[in-house]
Amino acid sequence: MIRAHVDEAQLAEAWTASGGRSLTDPAVPVPARLVQGVLETIAELDRHGAELARDFAGSGLGVIAMKAAASGLPASGRISSGGATRLLETADGWVALSMPRNGDHDLVPAWLQIEGAVDDVWRVVTEEVRGRSCAVLVERAALLGLACTEVGEAAARTTPAIPLTGGSAPPFRLKDATVVNLASLWAGPLAATVLGRLGARVITVESTTRLDGGRAVPPFFAAVHEGHEFVTVDLGSASGVEVLRSLLLRADVVIEGSRPRAMSQLGINAMELVANGPRVWMSITAHGRRLPHGVRIGYGDDAAAAGGLVGWVDGGPVFIADAVADPITALTVASVANRLAATGGRWVVDVALSRVAAALAPQPNAAIPKRWAPKRSSVSRSM
């Protein structure tokens, strides 16, 4: 639950100082629940020594704008700051579609069931989805491995972190702990960095055949991997998988950002490993580990839209800041891992970007046109 009320002027000041306002359409009001919730989590982590408010503007809220600042990204609108995600009107609502990878555009004809080559992909997509339902578009995208969400689809799923018990174990101190990070890009690495700020040793593992895509922006990569040690492993070989397994068994905390089947293909089962190895396993996915959501991919912008963490301008949604579900998920992961270390036990924790976004989205139906207002249960927050 959100506990302490923060004055609206203070929220607005933090939002402006953080860079969030400059990355968002000026017609969007201050996202008060987002700002207040993030500031609370930062304050909690700082009480344990993270010092985020010292190093990031806006009392630490500037962590949400760190990628845009490092990359020189423009403000978002219906096109994300990074340019790879767009909000598109459909026959019955809005979807967010992300296509950041080589090959994503090639999947568009199959997704839309149209024939022939597509020259201007976004033009065709924008025109075609107007005649399709959100449900059909999201379902077909999931089958093809495209990141597509309906705006507000996860609005009722407001439990960001779902802990699954894996046995008993005494509490431990992060100052004496080893964190192994298997996640790439933003949410997982930043979460590991925050745990490093709390005193943990952090080891990031990369595949020899698939290095972290965040390396494309060296200043951002360096910032989000502050203090990490790096190990590169050939996950295509049996010996490489054994090296990985050995690292995981010696870890206290594991952070990974893969769909469950990716770990299964390596013969790695999180629940089995936590029985005798790491005591806290933080699993970050776009929409959760369980089916049908566990097979879906997603990124910070489309996951935020799924949670309803958007602004509304001229009758339609616009993005808030830059891939905002990523940094707020990182803070959630760090906060939960810190609490579980102090609590004790063995845990696999299911953390979904879209659920974290839903927990910090505007109150139900606030500023949302009635036509697209999702049906939601009462909203609470647990970070």
Tens digit of pLDDT for each residue in 320-360? Answer: 999 999 999 999 999 999 999 999 999 999 999 999 999 99
- Give whole-number Cα distances, 184 to 69, 181, 258, 360, in Å: 19, 8, 9, 23
Q: Name the pLDDT band for 380 (thresholds 50, 70, 90).
A: very low
Q: Does residue 368 carry a pLDDT above 60?
A: no
The CATH fold of domain 161-292+326-358: Rossmann fold (3.40.50)
Give the DSSP letter of residue 335: H
Residues spanned by CATH 3.40.50.10540 within the chain? 161-292+326-358
Q: Does residue 373 carry a pLDDT above 90?
A: no
User: What is the pLDDT at residue 6?
Assistant: 65
pLDDT for 115-151, tens place per residue? Answer: 887 889 999 999 999 999 999 999 999 999 999 999 9
Lowest mean pLDDT among 123-127, 155-159, 171-175, 251-255: 155-159
Query: Measured between alpha carbons, how far is 105 from 74 in angstroms, rounded to an integer?
Result: 23
Q: Does residue 378 carry a pLDDT above 80?
A: no
pLDDT for 161-192, tens place per residue? Answer: 999 998 999 999 999 899 999 999 999 999 99
- What are the strands, taking DSSP E only, across the chain? 85-89, 94-98, 147-150, 161-167, 178-181, 201-207, 229-233, 253-256, 280-285, 310-313, 316-319, 346-352
pLDDT for 207-239, tens place per residue? Answer: 988 888 889 899 999 999 999 999 999 988 999
User: What is the pLDDT at residue 7?
Assistant: 85
User: What is the pLDDT at residue 318?
Assistant: 98
Q: Name the pLDDT band for 252 (thresholds 50, 70, 90).
A: very high
pLDDT for 43-66, tens place per residue? Answer: 999 999 999 999 999 999 999 999
Specify the higher pLDDT residue, 262 or 33.
Answer: 33
pLDDT for 70-84, tens place per residue? Answer: 999 999 999 999 999
Query: Measured between alpha carbons, how far is 303 from 308 in angstroms, rounded to an integer?
Result: 9
User: What is the pLDDT at residue 5?
Assistant: 58
3-state helix, strand and coil shares in percent for the chain, rounded to the nearest 5:
40, 15, 40
And the tokens for 264? 């299964």
